[in-house]
Amino acid sequence: DVKVTQSSRYLVKRTGEKVFLECVQDMDHENMFWYRQDPGLGLRLIYFSYDVKMKEKGDIPEGYSVSREKKERFSLILESASTNQTSMYLCASSDTRGNTIYFGEGSWLTVV
Amino acid sequence: QKEVEQNSGPLSVPEGAIASLNCTYSDRGSQSFFWYRQYSGKSPELIMSIYSNGDKEDGRFTAQLNKASQYVSLLIRDSQPSDSATYLCAVIVDSSYKLIFGSGTRLLVRP
């Protein structure tokens, strides 16, 4: 059974804190993605990675960075969390052709 | 113009009816198209993928693609209350692996 695991499901952080969201996939997929989802706005792409140590900006990268040191792991970093980053964050992975994308269960982040 | 557009709904249909969900996209070079279903509080799950013009059927679901019109749709036959969810259209753009989603259409199937 394929699996994308987001280790932190629910987090509450203070403004200005550094936040790490971790995502691990066990499918040997080349591509990994981070989205955020807000009511009425759908899923918006923050960053994606098509190989180890490779990353590309999505549509809303400001305030975020990512790290992919190993193929199976893709981390999203909020250097200094702000209240407008309160959202649900979804990690996903896909094979080289990008034909099937699997999602993790989501991480609900609240910044107070 | 947003890259992938959907009517937010809600689209309300009676049980047993056909639900028709529509999506338009802006990048003419797009080759891969997907429909996801998302229940409240859950992550999206893939229903259908389609890559060439025409229809693709899978059980009660039919995806339709018209690249000339930059239009993709999802038909759900014999709609059930359990089909009530938000349906997300997604497109791989720029000949890359960048998967862009529409904002979703909320479907409500009335018993």
Give pLDDT, residue B28: 86
What's the mean pLDDT in A51-68? 94
Within a 10 A sphere around the Cβ of A26, how many other Cβ atoms? 12
The tens digit of pLDDT for each residue in A7-47 reads: 889 999 999 999 999 999 999 999 999 999 998 788 999 99
Exposure string over A64-91, b if 16+ CB within 10 A, otherwise e? bebbbeeebebbbebeebeeebbbbbbb
Residues 6+ apart with CB under 8 A from B80: B15, B109
Residues of A in contact with B99 (CB under 8 A): 33, 45, 48, 92, 94, 98, 101
Minimal-distance CA residue of chain B relative to A107: B43
Give pLDDT, residue B100: 87
The model's confidence at residue A96, banded by pLDDT at 50, 70 and 90, is confident
Q: Does A74 touch chain B (CB under 8 A)?
A: no
Cβ of B97 within 8 Å of Cβ of A41? The answer is no
Give pLDDT, residue A100: 76
Distances (CA, A) of B93 to A17, A71, B27, B29, B32: 34, 23, 6, 7, 8
Give pLDDT, residue A49: 93
- Distance CA(A73)–CA(A52), nearest Å, equals 9
